[in-house]
A = this chain, B = another copy of it.
Amino acid sequence: MLQVALDTKDLPTAIGVARQVVDVVDVVEAGTLLIYEEGLSAVRNLRALAPDKIILADTKTADAGADVGAECKEAGADWMTCINAATVPTMKSAQSKIEVQVELYKNWTEELAQEWLDAGIDQVVYHQSRDAKLAGQTWGQKDLDEVKKLISMGFKVSVTGGVKPEVLKLFEGVDVYTFIAGRAIHGAADPHAAAVEFKNEIDRIWG
């Protein structure tokens, strides 16, 4: 699937992009910064714009899982994110209200990931390692190996961080759940054309 990350600073910018790509993408993400700035009304408005798409509230929640999950669900989101530093009870309480994705930032372990699976959470978001990104590298073998390992454990794995259409072929043969593109779509001169380019590449490789 293809997910557009609307990590813009205000709702009009997000809506301006969303209306151009909503017919192409599968998942519409209300980005963390957008939610900080506009609150969950951002989710409510994106739900109104994309009634038939999956809406993700990228809250990166660390605490009060049930409360945040219930609020996100009420606002119209299908999925929300928890940060890997959240405790398993927090994730589990969020999952009791809404489908949870765990975002993999610093200091997670395979052992902990297994605890998430055991708690009924089977979605993770893999970020390209920032060190690699800062060093000007693209997705490397280490990233691919980690993604494959998570998939073999039983996770649906979304990938994000410097995802461009030309990056997708690196994942050929790997059952990635969703590719998440932010700036590559909303920063493009023609967001619709950029989203179509992603979608065509996904169809070519996995179709």
Contacts and interface: CB of A to CB of B under 8 A. Distances in A.
B60 A62 contact: yes
| Top 8 A-B pairs, shortest CB-CB distance | A39-B39, A85-B85, A85-B105, A107-B107, A38-B39, A60-B62, A85-B106, A62-B105
Copies in the complex: 2
Contact of A37 (B9, B71, B84): B71
Name the residue among A39, A84, A134 with the largest chain B CB count within 10 angstroms: A39
A40 interface: yes
A40 to B, nearest CB: 5
Nearest to A38: B39
A147 interface: no
Name the residue among A36, A59, A112 with the largest chain B CB count within 10 angstroms: A36
